[in-house]
Amino acid sequence: MHTLSGERAVRFGSAVIAYEPAWRERRDVEITVHPDLRVTVLCPAGRSPVAVDAVVLRKAPWILRQQLRFQDLHPLPTEPRFVAGETFRYLGRQYRLKLDEGSEPRVVLSRPYLRVVVPDVRDHAEVGKMIDRWRRARAAAVFAEHVEAIVMRCPWLGPRPETLRVRTMACRWGSCSASGVITLNPALVSAHPSCIEYVVAHELCHRKVMKHDQRFYRLLGRVVPDWQTRRDRLNNLR
Ligand SMILES: [Zn+2]
């Protein structure tokens, strides 16, 4: 299957896998799935595109599995402009940005508005900074509540983590270090609480099992039985 710009694609069941081929002096076909879900394929010189298609098709289940894994914890890529009327999500609900001028800068959530009071409403950078600070503070509080609730409900997961870091990450909602430090993306506070609970549970389970293996998913299933539905809902946010 041909696509734009030298890309090729194969159909596997209902899925279409697009890939970028590059021919090199080499013996074997090498397929790489990147965190942004792109698939690149290094092909031996002289191997026909159709023959490469066949190799990609044979590896399709593995490619889709890798893509799903990367999709698992992806953030929102949209760039906000911080202008009046713009839509923001908080805990899965939509709010419209309302800008008011005032000498006491603050952010107030009052449905249907996310109201920001600033000395100069044309100062979008300042509005952005205020929303960012507000969201980070809300995120830290919301995430801590979820950790507390899960740890209380599932004591077999171990003690509550001593620190919970909130940090913007380029391509994931959360992470867990080898020493058990959990980091969560403040952008996650946009998502529905059930999705936040899924990500928090996912990272808490990593303190018991680091790898995404069967044991890990069994554990996650005990904490959040419908985690797949929640993951899909989270991915549909994008
Ligand atoms: Zn994970």
Q: 59 and 94 share a domain?
A: no
pLDDT at 49 over 80: yes
- Number of domains into which the chain is organized: 2
Mean pLDDT of 60-72: 84
CATH number of the domain encompassing residue 103: 3.30.2010.10
pTM of the predicted model as reported, rounded to 2 decimal places: 0.67
Q: 129 and 212 share a domain?
A: yes
Gap from CA of 212 to ligand 1 centroid (Å): 6
Q: 27 and 67 share a domain?
A: yes
Q: 144 and 175 share a domain?
A: yes
pLDDT at 12 over 80: yes
Gap from CA of 8 to ligand 1 centroid (Å): 30
Gap from CA of 148 to ligand 1 centroid (Å): 19
CB burial readout 75-99, b (16+ within 10 A) else e: bbeeeeebeeebebbbebeebebbb
Gap from CA of 230 to ligand 1 centroid (Å): 14
Give the whole-angstrom CA distance, residue 74 versus residue 185. 10
Q: 99 and 183 share a domain?
A: yes
57 is a domain residue: yes
Q: 133 and 37 share a domain?
A: no
Considering the chain, what percentage of its residues have pLDDT values greater than 90?
70
Alpha-helical runs (H) found in the chain: 49-58, 60-71, 124-153, 193-206, 214-223, 227-235
Gap from CA of 205 to ligand 1 centroid (Å): 8
pLDDT at 50 over 90: yes
How confident is the model at residue 229, as a pLDDT? Answer: 94
Instruction: Express each pLDDT in 98-116 by its tens digit.
Output: 999 999 999 999 989 999 9
Q: 138 and 221 share a domain?
A: yes
pLDDT at 228 over 60: yes
Gap from CA of 1 to ligand 1 centroid (Å): 34
Mean pLDDT of 146-158: 95
51 is a domain residue: yes
How confident is the model at residue 3, as a pLDDT? Answer: 44
Residue range of the domain that includes 192: 87-235
Gap from CA of 174 to ligand 1 centroid (Å): 8
Q: 223 and 169 share a domain?
A: yes
Q: 58 and 101 share a domain?
A: no
Gap from CA of 227 to ligand 1 centroid (Å): 12
Q: 152 and 203 share a domain?
A: yes
2 is a domain residue: no
Gap from CA of 208 to ligand 1 centroid (Å): 12
Supply angle C-alpha 174, 176, 178, rounded to 5.
160
How confident is the model at residue 56, as a pLDDT? Answer: 95
Q: 101 and 191 share a domain?
A: yes
78 is a domain residue: no
76 is a domain residue: no
1 is a domain residue: no
Which of 41, 71, 101 marks a domain boundary? 71
